[in-house]
């Protein structure tokens, strides 16, 4: 695959960083400025099926967000993951012009994680309603939600979590990872 991209442009290849293989899956990382160029070239090379787009919030890292594209070449039965990174507020170029199916995936990434896509024809919220102020899948957004109010459209409230589902938090030490009840001040709706 990499030589395929090579004949389209040598410095595009230089821009791509090949990440170590994990469980037999190939991942590339590309700076977001070259993303559309790379995707167009890849689609020409047979990666006709865009499986999924995921946005990941790595809070505390710089740049904060990671956008992950899963691609699939159906004729040679290959899978490829392309990743790009963006800081908060920085838009990632949209790949809607390459695959039409990217439209909803990018809207979802914007809605849930709050990554903007430049050049997207219609970047609205998709799962939550227009006007909802938060991006729920950000790490600093609490699971129980935050109260909001939009007359005639929707409202939200905090969900009571006490005694609710087991909640563990990722931590290096096992005693910190044990499921715990939430502190008293969080326990009222």
Give the shortest CB-114-to-another protein separation in angstroms.
Answer: 14
Instruction: Report the residue number, 9 or 182, with the smaller CB distance to another protein.
Output: 182
* Strands annotated E in 107-180: 117-118, 148-150, 154-156
Q: Give the SS3 label for residue 10.
A: helix
CA distance 88 to 93: 14
* Strands annotated E in the chain: 17-22, 25-29, 49-57, 65-73, 78-86, 92-93, 117-118, 148-150, 154-156
Give the shortest CB-32-to-another protein separation in angstroms.
Answer: 19
Residue 62 main-chain phi, psi, to 5 deg: -130, 125
Give the shortest CB-30-to-another protein separation in angstroms.
Answer: 16
Give the shortest CB-86-to-another protein separation in angstroms.
Answer: 15
Instruction: Report the residue number, 11 or 173, with the smaller CB distance to another protein.
Output: 173
Note the residues at the interface with another protein (CB under 8 A): 22-23, 25, 27, 48-52, 54, 56-57, 68, 70, 74, 77, 79, 81, 99-101, 103-105, 108, 112, 125-129, 134, 136-137, 141-146, 152-157, 159-161, 164-172, 174, 177-179, 189
């Amino acid at each position: 695959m990499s030589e395929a991209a090579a004949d389209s442009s040598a410095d595009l290849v230089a821009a791509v960083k090949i990440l170590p293989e994990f469980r037999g899956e190939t991942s590339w990382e590309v700076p977001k400025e070259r993303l559309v160029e790379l995707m167009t070239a890849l689609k020409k090379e047979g990666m006709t099926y865009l499986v999924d787009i995921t946005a990941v919030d790595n809070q505390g890292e710089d740049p904060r967000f990671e956008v992950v594209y899963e691609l699939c070449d159906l004729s040679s039965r290959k899978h490829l993951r392309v990743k790009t990174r963006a800081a908060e507020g920085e838009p990632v170029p949209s790949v809607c012009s390459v695959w039409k199916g990217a439209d909803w995936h990018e809207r979802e990434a914007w809605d849930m994680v709050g990554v903007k896509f430049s050049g997207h024809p219609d970047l609205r919220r998709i799962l939550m309603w227009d006007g909802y102020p938060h991006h729920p899948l950000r790490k600093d957004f609490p699971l129980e939600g935050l109260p909001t109010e939009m007359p005639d459209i929707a409202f939200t409230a905090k969900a009571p979590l006490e005694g609710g589902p087991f909640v563990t938090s990722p931590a290096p030490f096992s005693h910190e990872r044990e499921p715990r009840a939430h502190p008293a001040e969080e326990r009222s709706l």
